[in-house]
Amino acid sequence: MMYPVHQSILSLYCANLPVLLTSVSPPTTPEALHEVPVVPIALPNPESFPFLTQFLYLKNVRQLFDAFLTLTPANGIPDDLDQPGRHDAFVAEYSSTLARNYTVQRLASQAAKVHGLWRNACALGISDADLQAFFDLAWEVLMQALTLSSSSTPPVIVS
């Protein structure tokens, strides 16, 4: 897969990048050909790389929740989750909404996608407080939703 990304964005956020080629000078005339450097980067989960670069460009955690958990609460993710009791109440409400609306398989799939995004961030050496907060909250919500969903699912009897 090939994804166009500005070198400055990756260089700013990614501590584990390979040495990137310096840009060539722009073409002198509109008809002149312009070479664009292509740098191969091996990632553990290439499918989630576009979401990671979108976050690095826009710094919008809401889009990560929309992409990886789908049912983001209508009021969004509150800013005051560090207040006593607020975090636990939010996680309980959000995870129960997900558990009611999705199967165990769908929740497990979403957890695998979040894990893939996290693995890419680790591989690239991205250290971002907002991204880490997303991982922490998304994982907690998904694990609780999986617990709720699996405990409410009737057992499958195989004969």
Q: What is the residue extent of each domain of the chain?
A: 7-152
Q: How many Å apart are CA 62 and CA 116, to the nearest integer?
A: 18
In degrees, rounded to 5, the angle at the alpha carbon of residue 111 between the alpha carbons of residues 108 and 112 is 90
Closest to 65 measured CA to CA, from 55, 57, 79, 56 = 55
- What integer is the mean pLDDT of 130-145? 95
How far is residue 70 CA from its own chain's centroid? 12
* Matching residue, tokens 């407080």: 129
- What integer is the mean pLDDT of 34-62? 91
Which residues fall within 8 angstroms of residue 143, CB to CB, at 6 or more apart?
Answer: 111
Instruction: For residue 14, list its beta bridge partners.
Output: 126
Q: How many Å apart are CA 100 and CA 81, to the nearest integer?
A: 23
* Whether residue 155 has pLDDT greater than 60: no
How far is residue 143 CA from its own chain's centroid? 16
* Whether residue 129 has pLDDT greater than 80: yes
